[in-house]
Structure 1
Amino acid sequence: MAFFGGNTAQSGPSAAANANNQGDLSKDIELSSPPEDSVSDISFSSQSEHLAVASWDKKVRIYEISDTGSSVGKAAYDHEGPVLSVVWSKDGSKVISGGADKAARMYDLQSGVSTQVAVHDQPIRACRFIQPPNGAEMLVTGSWDKSLKYWDLRQQAPVATLQLSERVYTLDVAQSLMVVGLAEKQIEIVNLANPTAIWKTIPSPLKWQTRVVTCFPDASGFAVGSIEGRCAIQYVDEKQSNMNFSFKCHRETPVGPVGPVGTPNVNVFSVNAISFHPTYGTFSTAGSDGTFHFWDKDAKHRLKGYPSVNGTIPATAFNRNGSIFAYAISYDWSKGHQSNNPQYPIKVMLHPIKDDEAKPKPVVKKR
């Protein structure tokens, strides 16, 4: 399926022309004291209004967000290389991060101490907390060394290691579902009731390299974003496979000469981040074109599109009740090192959510 409900789902001039779907960025608030290099990941606590930000400057910063949207830096800790992933523990007492130094570190908010809690043979690309059905909360780390490792934070050695077919580019967890996006467009699915075995391996439903996978909050499926401006909605249960679809997004048709045989030239951008609203189950996509959009997967409809923020968006997150949408603006390396420069913006913005932006539209029954 190319488009949601007939909408073009494109950023740029064609999307901006749809005034009813055009969102407003004028009330967005910039996070104070942002990182000094590109932002790689952001994560809200599920217990409080605290935001963790991981950066290529080898630091993780933790901010407290007030009711008015103002922010203050509360803590920071270091890695020995660029930080690639950050996540909160379920109780909001700890932050875990993994990075290019091949290590994961845990920061305890009460003690203010960070300690190394995991190590791989290659950079750690992603880390998440999991809650096995019959066990205590554990950490899972995914690496370019083609493995997942499970960690009991009270022990130094991993509890188990799961070998994968390729390097880990992205992973996400919801309830007992874990989805891992690998190099070579492979996707491996793990049922956390049996975390040491691959439950299912599938090729990506998209033709180009996987950039991000994000699980539905109800764990019935996941969304996939690729470098070629497409997003796919994929259900885990084969009985729901008829509900799978993909659509184009984060593309623009510039004004100017057309391509071969009169076809318009289209600029295609990577889908860097997909985040699900914690209450409504709708989701956002954000990309290298510097725009983000809110979508309703069940209605196959774009709820809102937003103008360019004048820089690529590498990471996004909703807060615990979905009232704030945070998005980072910084270089995402999609055009190589030659396109980075000291003037490139480095920001994290807080967008206050109104109901008409992320809430599903009521279904109008035809008489």
Structure 2
Amino acid sequence: MTMFGTGGLGASSSVFGQTAAASTANPMKDIEVVSPPDDSVSCLEFSPPAVQQTFLVAGSWDNNVRCWEVDQNSGKTQPKAQQTMGGPVLDVAWADDGTKVFMSGCDNTVRCWDLASNQTVQVAQHDAPVKTVHWVKAPNYTCIMTGSWDKTLKFWDTRSPNPMMSIALPERAYCADVDYPMAVVSTANRGIIVYQLEGQPQQFKTQESSLRYQHRCISIFRDKMNRPTGYAIGSVEGRVAIQYVNPANPKDNFTFKCHRSNGTNQGYQDIFSVNDIRFHPVHGTLATVGSDGRFSFWDKDARTKLKTSEAMEQSITKCAFNHTGQIFAYAVSYDWSKGHEFYTPTKKNYIFLHPCFEELKPRPKT
């Protein structure tokens, strides 16, 4: 069964088509998530496969994490709950059983939100804002992995106030991803460190970035045997690098330009930051979102673009796929890439749901 029923989506599209006609806020006529955050969206995650229903959580610079239930047929959303942190929220992660959400932020802590009781408890502490949090499920342990601007990567058994392990980083943690048995962390000054999580977490190798500018996002991909083998990394310079951890051929690694203006403005091309990268859970193709207010779908194996959206009113800051790959969620809000003078407080923040399964099918081999 598809996550969006055909009839439900058709009805929603026509409704949004009418409302979007007078507004540029929803040029793709996608389904709008109700009661969006009051400030920029910093993180976005769908519930894991263990959960029967579909839930979406989003963290924001308004200090809150919100949770919505997504209707299986119509795609319409219903606000379910909300929790507040002691500062702007920087990342969220689901436990694999879907009972808890971990929230990290600028108050230097990570809190565990138990969805059944709607209570939170602090489970991790750093000396600076916690930029990333990820759930790790290994055969012999489960924990959360946290990366901070205090230049440490820590692993926590959430039942203990002290970390299981603390690893010094060469610089502040900017972005990270986990797909067992692999973790990858990118730091300030374009550092990339790959960790293996089997037995116990340990550094596997450091890799030199093929991108010349600051990294913004990183996402692990799998090979045809469904094994995590590499990652895509995006930079502020409108470029993505596809990097294998152990490439069979050095030419397997490559970079491509994205989120740039088609034409030139007085001889210059406008270049925008790549704010997030996600791989489709079924097809293995990928989505990028950027400061140009567009999302794009790509086939990395065919090295081709599959689709680019119309431009939104503001930047797209984050995106996510649900676990069946039917829904693509993306958040439209200001990302401060143009500085304070371009911030417009009257502009609303949006989260949209886009039916995407067919659009992300790989390009047929010729």
TM-score, normalised via structure 1 length: 0.88
Q: Write out per-residue CA displacement over residues 305-342 of structure 1, whole angstroms, 9 at most, x where no aligned residue.
A: 11101210110000110100000000111122222121
> What is residue 189 of structure 2 aligned with on the other side?
184
The residue correspondences of 1:255-266 to structure 2 (distance < 5 A) are 256-258=265-267, 265-266=268-269
Q: Is this contact kept in 2: 1:311–1:345, CA < 8 A?
A: no
What 5-or-longer segments of structure 2 have no aligned partner? Answer: 1-25
Does residue 260 of structure 2 align to residue 232 of structure 1?
A: no
Residue 139 of structure 1 aligns to which amino acid in structure 2? I
Q: Write out per-residue CA displacement over residues 171-212 of structure 1, whole angstroms, 9 at most, x where no aligned residue.
A: 001121101010001101101125443211122110100111
> What is residue 311 of structure 1 aligned with on the other side?
314
Distance in 2 (CA, whole Å) between partners of 1:172 and 1:122 is 20
Distance in 2 (CA, whole Å) between partners of 1:339 and 1:279 is 38
Label 1:114 to 1:307 Cα distance change in 2 as closer, same or farther (>3 A).
Answer: same
Deviation at 1:154, TM superposition (A): 1.3
Q: 1:64 aligns with which of 69, 86, 89?
A: 69
The residue correspondences of 1:201-212 to structure 2 (distance < 5 A) are 201-212=206-217
Label 1:237 to 1:143 Cα distance change in 2 as closer, same or farther (>3 A).
Answer: same
Q: Is this contact kept in 1: 2:44–2:318, CA < 8 A?
A: yes
Label 1:91 to 1:241 Cα distance change in 2 as closer, same or farther (>3 A).
Answer: farther
Q: Is this contact kept in 2: 1:25–1:351, CA < 8 A?
A: no
Deviation at 1:143, TM superposition (A): 0.1
Secondary structure of 1:242 counterpart: helix
* More off after superposition, 190-199 vs 222-231: 190-199
Label 1:290 to 1:26 Cα distance change in 2 as closer, same or farther (>3 A).
Answer: closer
Q: 2:170 aligns with which of 155, 160, 165?
A: 165
Secondary structure of 1:155 counterpart: coil
Deviation at 1:160, TM superposition (A): 0.8
Does residue 328 of structure 2 align to residue 325 of structure 1?
A: yes
Distance in 2 (CA, whole Å) between partners of 1:201 and 1:255 is 37
What 5-or-longer segments of structure 1 have no aligned partner? Answer: 1-23, 259-264
Distance in 2 (CA, whole Å) between partners of 1:224 and 1:55 is 23
Residue 192 of structure 2 aligns to which amino acid in structure 1? I
Q: 1:109 aligns with which of 107, 115, 118?
A: 115
Q: Is this contact kept in 1: 2:140–2:199, CA < 8 A?
A: no
> What is residue 157 of structure 2 aligned with on the other side?
152
Q: Write out per-residue CA displacement over residues 245-268 of structure 1, whole angstroms, 9 at most, x where no aligned residue.
A: 00110000446532xxxxxx1000
Q: Write out per-residue CA displacement over residues 272-301 of structure 1, whole angstroms, 9 at most, x where no aligned residue.
A: 000111101000000000001000111111
Distance in 2 (CA, whole Å) between partners of 1:242 and 1:203 is 15
Deviation at 1:119, TM superposition (A): 0.6
Label 1:156 to 1:223 Cα distance change in 2 as closer, same or farther (>3 A).
Answer: same
Distance in 2 (CA, whole Å) between partners of 1:114 and 1:220 is 35
Distance in 2 (CA, whole Å) between partners of 1:195 and 1:201 is 18
Label 1:109 to 1:255 Cα distance change in 2 as closer, same or farther (>3 A).
Answer: same
> What is residue 104 of structure 2 aligned with on the other side?
98
Deviation at 1:155, TM superposition (A): 1.2
Q: 1:251 aligns with which of 255, 260, 266?
A: 260
> What is residue 290 of structure 2 aligned with on the other side?
287
> What is residue 9 of structure 1 aligned with on the other side?
none
- Larger RCO: Structure 1 or Structure 2 (Cα < 8 Å, ≥ 6 residues apart)? 1
Distance in 2 (CA, whole Å) between partners of 1:309 and 1:69 is 20
> What is residue 11 of structure 2 aligned with on the other side?
none
Label 1:68 to 1:101 Cα distance change in 2 as closer, same or farther (>3 A).
Answer: same
**Aligned-CA RMSD value:** 1.4
Distance in 2 (CA, whole Å) between partners of 1:201 and 1:256 is 39
Label 1:363 to 1:335 Cα distance change in 2 as closer, same or farther (>3 A).
Answer: same
Q: Write out per-residue CA displacement over residues 139-182 of structure 1, whole angstroms, 9 at most, x where no aligned residue.
A: 01000000011011111111110111010000001121101010
Q: Is this contact kept in 2: 1:250–1:287, CA < 8 A?
A: yes
Q: Is this contact kept in 2: 1:234–1:241, CA < 8 A?
A: no
> What is residue 30 of structure 2 aligned with on the other side?
28
Distance in 2 (CA, whole Å) between partners of 1:257 and 1:240 is 40
> What is residue 363 of structure 1 aligned with on the other side?
365
Q: Is this contact kept in 1: 2:264–2:270, CA < 8 A?
A: no
Residue 289 of structure 1 aligns to which amino acid in structure 2? D
Q: Is this contact kept in 2: 1:125–1:168, CA < 8 A?
A: yes
Residue 44 of structure 2 aligns to which amino acid in structure 1? I
* More off after superposition, 34-43 vs 189-198: 189-198
